[in-house]
Structure formats: structure tokens, C-alpha cells
Amino acid sequence: RIPFAGVEIVNFFPAGSCVGFVDPSHEGADYTAMAIGAMNFDNFVAAGFAWPKAWDDCVEDIGRVCMAYHVAKFAFETNGVGKHPVVMFRKNGANVAEWRSDTNKHGRILNAASFKGHLKLASYLPPELQNPAFRQAQQTFNNMVLEYEYKAEHDDAPDALANLMMYLGLVKK
């Protein structure tokens, strides 16, 4: 069974500021995923990006997403990478929080999927991100979420989305 089956993809993202979450790849063996989201009436609209590289190779990409979508604050998962990324982003002026995931990954993804009746994935890209690299990273993110199933080879995008939803209090830990 695919938990996010039927989640609608929309071609908009709510105006104003939003909040984000980064699930880093430590050495590039998997994906660095960034989920951002905001409420739109009774729906949570999420946009995301999954880059097949280590987090420290995504610093510029993360910064561009933050600027283009007006990310007011984001959390960075520090489990495998320590506090260095948080300190580095803060030095560069980002409003970033440290986040340690301490729950079962599949469980938190299923908790996020229980919210799917109010979840929309965005395919909208702001003009400053409209290029093939960001389009591919967004498509990879959306595909990872929509095709997620237990023991999927790549679960970085749905995990980033689930952690974002927990960070915002939309779903419980």
C-alpha cells in the first residue's frame, strides 16, 4: 500500500512566508531533501526538493529556496551531521533550528500520510528557480513522496515532509 496515494499536485504555493525542514545526506550516499510548507485555508501545501548530493553541496540551493519561497525559519536534522550546519547557516543569517529525529522513520511518515486529505504537493516554482536542476529536484521530491512504501530505497523526501509536519505540530511525534 502506498500511504500518499491520491495526494493532489497543485500549481501554486501560498503567498507570504513559510517554514521548512532539511533532511541532510551526510556523505552524498542518498538525497538531501528540503520540504517547505504553509497552510492554505484547510490544506497544507508543501513544496520540496531532493538533491542527490551531500548537504554541504546543497548550501547554495537551500539558500535559493529560502529566498524564493520566503522561508521564515527552517529546522535542520542534526542526527548524522552534528551542529555544524546549524551554526554555519546561522552565521549566514538564516533563522534555523536544530532538530533531532528520535522516532521511528516509517511511523512518522505514516503519521504524516494520515493528514493526506489536507495535504497538497506543489509543482509551482518561483521565477528565480525555474531551471532544469530545480525542476528535477522538485519532481524527484514529489515522486519520492507519492511513491513511498515501507522499506523504499529512498525515503528522504517523505521523511523531510513528515518531520516538517511534526515540527509545525500538524502531526504528533
Q: Residue 169 has what DSSP assignment? A: T
**Residues belonging to the chain:** 173
Instruction: Tell me the pTM.
Output: 0.96
Give the pLDDT band of residue 28 (cuts 50, 70, 90).
low
Contacts of 98 by beta carbon, 8 Å cutoff, 6+ apart: 75, 76, 78, 83, 86
pLDDT tens across 53-76, in order? Answer: 999 999 999 999 999 999 999 999
- Give helix 59-69 / helix 84-91 axis angle, nearest 10°: 50
The answer to whether the beta carbons of residues 163 and 75 sit under 8 Å apart is yes
pLDDT tens across 71-93, in order? Answer: 999 999 999 899 999 999 999 99
